[in-house]
Amino acid sequence: MGALFILILISSIPAIAVFVWFRLTRAPFSIFWFSASLLAGAASFFPALFFQSFFRAGSGIFTLSGKWGLFAEIFVRVALTEELSRFLLLLILFTVIGRLYENSGGIKANTAGLVAGLGFAILESSVYGASNPVNALLRAFTAAPLHGACGSRVGSSVVLLREHPVLGVFRFLSAVAIHGAYNFMLNIPGRFPVIAAVLIALSALLSAIQIVRNEMKDETAS
């Protein structure tokens, strides 16, 4: 139990940093919405596992083989299923809980998606870190920024689909593409692909943070 607690604590470092950032800047994003978004993101880990169970190399409903096997593994079985799971949980969060707590800080799609992505990373990194503790630390500073960045895009796609479906679909697919590109680079041997994967994650995160900052400024101004 002690080892599990340490793994969860290490995996929570990015989420804790974002929470401290919100509190220090007095961001108009309530503790309720932060907690709800974080839990929704962590919960999305389980539907992702369910969806991924349909894709197996040589078995399952959809087989991953042939020259497109690696592409399907990276972009469909991993990236698409994880982003789809986040989309579904955020849709439930915005639709159901958002209506019950309309005065709890409002729905800020990009921000909620960012936090949800970090929630997903906490559970995923803890599970993978259980077999390799060092991996939990590495994922906390590489995979967590990726999930946060992609989660922000998925969060905005949930809201955009209602009035701007084309833009909403584009935002969702951009999250899948970024996620897949990150995983693809990690599957290429050598040091440069790893560096490229980290740069993809960090650049996507910086872009998402800039959007969140603008979202916060607009909310504060209004």
Chain segment 153-212, per-residue pLDDT in tens:
999 999 898 889 999 999 999 999 999 999 898 888 888 888 898 899 999 999 999 988
What angle (nearest 5°) sits at the alpha carbon of residue 54, between those of residues 194 and 12? 45
Q: Is the pLDDT of residue 149 over 60?
A: yes
Q: What is residue 95's three-state secondary structure?
A: helix
Residue 104: band (very low, low, confident or very high) from pLDDT cuts 50, 70, 90: very low
Model pTM score: 0.87
- Which secondary-structure segment (H or E) carries 63? strand 62-63
Span 21-33, pLDDT tens digits: 999 988 888 898 8
Comparing CA positions, the residue from 202, 86, 210, 87 lying closest to residue 146 is 202
- Return mean pLDDT, the chain: 84
Extents of the domains making up the chain: 2-217
CA separation (Å) from 32 to 5, 35, 93, 106, 219?
23, 5, 12, 10, 17
Q: What is the pLDDT of residue 175?
A: 96
98 contacts 30 by C-beta, under 8 angstroms: no
128-135 contacts at long range (C-beta below 8 A, 24 or more positions apart): 129/7, 129/10, 129/11, 130/3, 130/4, 130/7, 133/3, 133/6, 133/7
CA dist 162 and 56 (Å) reads 34
* pLDDT one-digit tens code per residue, 125-136: 888 766 666 666
Q: How far is CA 45 from CA 25, 82, 110, 120, 187, in A?
A: 30, 7, 19, 6, 22
Q: How confident is the model at residue 138 (pLDDT cuts 50, 70, 90)?
A: low
Output the CA angle 180-181-183, nearest 5 degrees: 65
Cα distance from N-terminal residue to C-terminal residue, the chain: 46
